[in-house]
Amino acid sequence: MTGITGRCLCGAVTYSFGEDAVIWQGHCHCESCRRANGAGIVSWFGVQKDAWRWTGAEPRAFQSSAWATRWFCPTCGSAMAYRSDKLPDEMHGLAATLDDPGWYKPQAHFFHAAAVDWLHVEDDLPRFVDGGKTLETDV
């Protein structure tokens, strides 16, 4: 089986998915992602939920809002994945946990309205004020 794989810091929690299941790739600036990942910007990719496989130790789930679940490694604490009831067919993985982070090709910035002012990303990718509906240039 060919697939894209990733793991947590200690290596206990692992995952895989088929590359053809990838829906989108992009950076999130929202406060929840910043806090959950301890980072000023968090780089995600969306995969068809049915294509996502946990292949190692069982991750622990945390309900981070009324509609969202975040998974992390119970041993080392690495954030591993996200799922929202608002996007029921998707599983979101973290680019920083990929075995080959060079595979990652971000396409946009999301929730850029919440971006911190001490981090300057100088790319030409589209910047959405929200989850992907409204471009910053249209506000």
The answer to whether residue 10 forms part of the interface with Zn ion (CB under 5 A) is yes
Complex with Zn ion: residue 8 or 42, whichever CB lies closer:
8
Q: Among 4, 73, 80, 91, indicate the residue that binds Zn ion (CB under 5 A).
A: 73
The answer to whether residue 96 forms part of the interface with Zn ion (CB under 5 A) is no
CA distance 29 to 42: 7
- In angstroms, give the least distance from the CB of 37 to Zn ion: 14
The answer to whether residue 116 forms part of the interface with Zn ion (CB under 5 A) is no
Q: Among 12, 21, 41, 108, indicate the residue that binds Zn ion (CB under 5 A).
A: 12
Tell which residue, 130, 112, 133, has the closest CA to residue 121: 112
Provide the edge-to-edge strand list for the sheet that holds 53-54: 4-7, 14-17, 53-54
Binding site for Zn ion (CB under 5 A): 8, 10, 12, 73, 75-76
